[in-house]
Amino acid sequence: MDNNKTKAEFVNDVQKWVAIDTQLKLANEKIRQLRESKNQLTSQICGFVDAHNMRDTKLEISDGNLKVYDRNDYAPLTFGYIETSLDKIIPNKEHVTYILKYLKENREITTVPDIRRNTTK
Would you call 61 helix, strand, or coil by DSSP? strand
Question: For the residues 32-49, what does the mean pLDDT come to?
Answer: 97
- Identify the pLDDT of residue 120: 87
* Total domains in the fold of the chain: 2
Closest CA to 97 of 83, 85, 108: 83
79 inside domain: yes
64 and 80 inside one domain: no
Q: Looking at the predicted structure, is the pLDDT value of residue 87 above 60? A: yes
Query: Hey, what amino acid is at 46?
Result: C
Residue 96 and residue 83 in contact, taking contact as beta carbons nearer than 8 Å: yes
Say yes or no to pLDDT of 8 above 90: yes
Percent of the chain at pLDDT > 90 equals 93
Q: 19 and 35, same structural domain?
A: yes
Residue 59 contacts by C-beta under 8 Å, 6 or more apart in sequence? 65, 66, 67
How far apart CA 121 and CA 115 sit, in angstroms, is 19
pLDDT at 2 (0 to 100): 60
Tell whether 35 and 5 lie within a shared domain: yes
The average pLDDT across 32-54 equals: 97
Q: What pTM does this model have?
A: 0.74
Rounded Cα gap, residues 54 and 48, in angstroms? 8
What's the confidence (pLDDT) of residue 5?
85
| Residue 44 belongs to domain spanning | 1-71
Q: Is residue 117 part of a domain?
A: no
